[in-house]
C-alpha cells in the first residue's frame, strides 16, 4: 500500500471504536507489512499502525456508461 491509499478495515478494532468496513487513509508507510492509517471517528481523527493484511484497498473508477443528462 502506498501513501494516500483509501482503505477499509477487514476486522473491527473495538478499543479504538473502529468497525469492520471503516474507511481510512494511509498517511505513512511503517515497517514492512504495516502502515499508519487515519480514520474519522465521530468528530475526532484516530491515527494508528495497522497490519496491511487487516486492510482492503478501495478503488474508484467512474462509470463511463453513465452520462450527464
What's the pLDDT score for residue 52? 98
Question: Over the stretch 2-36, which tens digit does the pLDDT of each residue have?
Answer: 999 999 999 999 999 999 999 999 999 999 999 99
C-beta pairs of 48-54 under 8 Å, 24+ apart in sequence = 48/13, 48/16, 50/9, 50/13, 52/1, 53/10, 54/9, 54/10, 54/11
Q: What would the mean pLDDT of 52-61 be, rounded to a whole number? A: 94
Structural domain spans, the chain: 6-57
Is residue 69's pLDDT more than 60?
Answer: no
- Fold (topology level) of 6-57: SH3 type barrels. (2.30.30)
Amino acid at each position: 500500500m502506498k501513501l494516500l491509499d483509501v482503505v477499509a478495515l477487514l476486522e473491527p478494532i473495538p478499543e479504538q471504536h473502529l468497525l469492520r468496513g471503516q474507511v481510512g487513509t494511509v498517511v505513512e508507510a511503517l515497517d514492512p507489512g504495516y502502515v499508519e492509517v487515519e480514520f474519522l471517528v465521530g468528530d475526532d481523527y484516530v491515527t494508528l499502525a495497522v497490519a496491511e493484511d487487516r486492510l482492503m484497498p478501495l478503488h474508484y473508477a467512474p462509470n463511463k456508461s453513465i452520462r450527464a443528462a
